[in-house]
Structure 1
């Protein structure tokens, strides 16, 4: 058993000079087998028989993050600087990527490991990665990504999505997708049933067919906009209902939800909630956003991710999913303590230290001992200022940075 002493936790709201602030206090946390087993106010003494004590020195503990939309197989990381080749259209981009990834295949594991390190350093201990499965690359990228994640299984968990980047309905892709599911992919992906596959009903049918065959969850890239996109979502929910696949699917990007009237948004949000269909967003600057606040108000689960970064699509970006919450705050002008603090839930899998009204929620005895330690006054400051992640602990193990032992510095 180990103890973390002087951990700053958020405990309540308090009003000060007409503004809401977050009240914090120091605690000692006892950890055993990756779980919190004791939680003491800092005024109480830690048992003298304790062998390992780490002084957190008043740093704030926040929940670890979940990177919920990523492409570990595509990055240029570890290969040195390389800008993105200009192309005329999406067709050219896809063709260039297909040819390039064949050449990069021998370095997939190396590049994926570099990306995992980048993501982990920002505080994410779960990665949902889409991996290209197509006639050009076959299963080579999948093999490299699985090997990379295996080396980091002590630090991160992962969803590995078989992703038909060049379309599900072409050539040998359906059989390759099934082979990918037999070879270590854990989820079924999809891409623009209208814009790429040119057959909404057939594409969605085949996606669900593979999912039910392998008892797998689904995450579909949907860039198709407006009413074409919302029609696709409605048809997908019919498949979810017919197959009893509630709480097992997600739509990534879903720009279309922000491109229809608010009444239609609310109608779709209610149906998404009823079927447990989550929405994943990367908070892009070039597209309309799904109506995150409306979705949240209607009980739809919303998650954020960085998408691919530094690859053939763009040289920009990095693995700090906290930046996505920050960017959303900028766009929607979130500035008060409570709304900033509450928005952290979109990168923690829904976990926040306090409820909106200030009741204590996290952490509690029997919770996983998974924390990010930062020098900040509150979660709201973390969102607004994006401080350095001093250390990351996942289920009782330090997976990034260092803790301060009473005896020595422990990594």
Structure 2
């Protein structure tokens, strides 16, 4: 199914009957619920200009119909250039069990997939928007099989959606820097203004040299004023050392703080509690973040402990109906729901905090229940949800009805067959 939208409302407009969270409802010593009120919100030049008491009779205002306004949904790790979405159903093969197996498979299929990747990327963005997501950090392949064609096609697809969707782009050497000779291509792409992060893949597992890969990646980021976002599936002492060595390099180059991330970092799920605490403290001190797609086989990532120690934890769907995994839905609110289930965050307070994983850490209420979003001057980027509060939205994975991006407001119209 594909969701279509009415022509967007642009420029200056006012919404009435907008439901906002205003505080927590306390009962004795615990939070029983969330207070909400309806407001009028005026948008000017893509920003929130005024938030005023509701006036249901306000002429010419767009009726939000009591829908809950939440911060814009953001998927912080995905691969918009690699999807089977829009093609006939295909489950993953049990024959391909390792990253090296997948690299060999990609080398076979990428040339054919690139022929239709612009169209399928557009369909994948439609799917994300159906769930209220209007921003993604997307990795794109840089490899010797396709050169920079993945980026070229991705840019065309993104340009087609430029008014309703935006991205941060990560140059990703999916086939290794040295396992295939991708380092020259990475040097080339790192110079491009459209690229925000330098990616990486399993320095030990694929390229068999942790220091060489990390040193190259760090220097490329420094030379081109980029961030870093490395995929790390390696386990054991090599996986742990990769994180520790990256932390060391970031501490040596403070300009990379708050711009460096380790995606997946599955090794953390295998560490003892004291080891998790130790490496979490190092990550927090160096301001190196972790990005997770959450589930990992029968292991549970120590997300709660990382957050308790002050680590910036972001969440993404990663693979969405592609040949790496057929389980991704594209719904970032569903990821927040999964986190709540895994960690038994079931109270009104805990569920409301879990929304952060769908909104890149922006919440309507602070931890004490004070309103902190939206405010005058904020970008008009939000999602309108059929829910009474954040906690319900997370618990019930409530449907998105509309979203605003860069001030443009898009309402769902109907669903049609792709």
Q: TM-score, normalised by structure 1?
A: 0.92
Structure 1 Cα separation of the partners of residues 57 and 375 of structure 2: 19
Structure 2 Cα separation of the partners of residues 14 and 328 of structure 1: 24
Structure 1 Cα separation of the partners of residues 226 and 381 of structure 2: 27
Whether the 8 Å CA contact 2:74–2:135 is kept in 1: the answer is yes
Structure 1 Cα separation of the partners of residues 296 and 54 of structure 2: 44
Task: Please say if 1:79 is aligned against 2:87.
Answer: yes
Cα deviation, residue 319, structure 1 = 0.9
Instruction: Describe the superposition over 1:56-76 as per-residue Cα deviations: whole angstroms up to 9, x where unpaired.
Output: 111111111110111111101
Cα deviation, residue 16, structure 1 = 4.5
- With 382-391 and 36-45 compared, the bigger mean Cα shift is at 36-45
Cα deviation, residue 213, structure 1 = 1.8
Mapping of 1:345-360 within 5 angstroms? 345-360=356-371
Task: Please say if 1:146 is aligned against 2:146.
Answer: no
Aligned counterpart, 1:307: 318
Whether the 8 Å CA contact 1:98–1:136 is kept in 2: the answer is yes
Cα deviation, residue 267, structure 1 = 2.1
Whether the 8 Å CA contact 2:39–2:53 is kept in 1: the answer is yes
Structure 1 Cα separation of the partners of residues 157 and 366 of structure 2: 37
Whether the 8 Å CA contact 1:227–1:260 is kept in 2: the answer is no
Distance change >3 Å, CA 135–CA 371, structure 1 → 2: same
Question: Aligned with 2:295: secondary structure?
Answer: coil
Whether the 8 Å CA contact 2:287–2:311 is kept in 1: the answer is yes
Structure 2 Cα separation of the partners of residues 230 and 137 of structure 1: 31
Structure 2 Cα separation of the partners of residues 171 and 165 of structure 1: 9
Distance change >3 Å, CA 89–CA 44, structure 1 → 2: closer
Instruction: Describe the superposition over 1:315-359 as per-residue Cα deviations: whole angstroms up to 9, x where unpaired.
Output: 222211111111111111111001001011122121111112211
Task: Please say if 1:181 is aligned against 2:190.
Answer: yes
Whether the 8 Å CA contact 1:255–1:289 is kept in 2: the answer is no
Cα deviation, residue 44, structure 1 = 9.0
Task: Please say if 1:198 is aligned against 2:211.
Answer: no
The alignment of Structure 1 onto Structure 2 pairs a total of residues equal to: 398
Structure 1 Cα separation of the partners of residues 253 and 312 of structure 2: 20
Mapping of 1:12-411 within 5 angstroms? 12-16=23-27, 20-42=32-54, 46=58, 52-90=60-98, 91-183=100-192, 184-244=194-254, 245-286=256-297, 288-401=299-412
Give the structure, 1 or 2, with the largest relative contact order (CA under 8 Å, sep 6 or more): 2
Structure 1 Cα separation of the partners of residues 56 and 286 of structure 2: 47
Where does structure 1 lack aligned partners over 5 or more consecutive residues?
Answer: 403-411
- With 24-33 and 352-361 compared, the bigger mean Cα shift is at 352-361
Whether the 8 Å CA contact 1:121–1:400 is kept in 2: the answer is no
- With 175-184 and 151-160 compared, the bigger mean Cα shift is at 175-184
Cα deviation, residue 141, structure 1 = 1.0
Question: Aligned with 1:106: secondary structure?
Answer: coil
Q: TM-score, normalised by structure 2?
A: 0.91
Structure 2 Cα separation of the partners of residues 16 and 328 of structure 1: 26
Where does structure 2 lack aligned partners over 5 or more consecutive residues?
Answer: 1-11, 414-418
Question: Aligned with 2:371: secondary structure?
Answer: coil
Cα deviation, residue 400, structure 1 = 4.9
Question: Aligned with 1:398: secondary structure?
Answer: strand
Whether the 8 Å CA contact 1:341–1:383 is kept in 2: the answer is yes
Whether the 8 Å CA contact 1:161–1:185 is kept in 2: the answer is yes
Structure 1 Cα separation of the partners of residues 289 and 325 of structure 2: 26
Task: Please say if 1:6 is aligned against 2:17.
Answer: yes
Question: Aligned with 2:248: secondary structure?
Answer: helix
Structure 2 Cα separation of the partners of residues 338 and 83 of structure 1: 38
Structure 1 Cα separation of the partners of residues 57 and 85 of structure 2: 47
Cα deviation, residue 198, structure 1 = 0.8
Question: Aligned with 2:15: secondary structure?
Answer: strand
Task: Give the superposed CA RMSD.
Answer: 1.8
Instruction: Describe the superposition over 1:59-113 as per-residue Cα deviations: whole angstroms up to 9, x where unpaired.
Output: 1111111101111111012223233333153132321122111211111211111
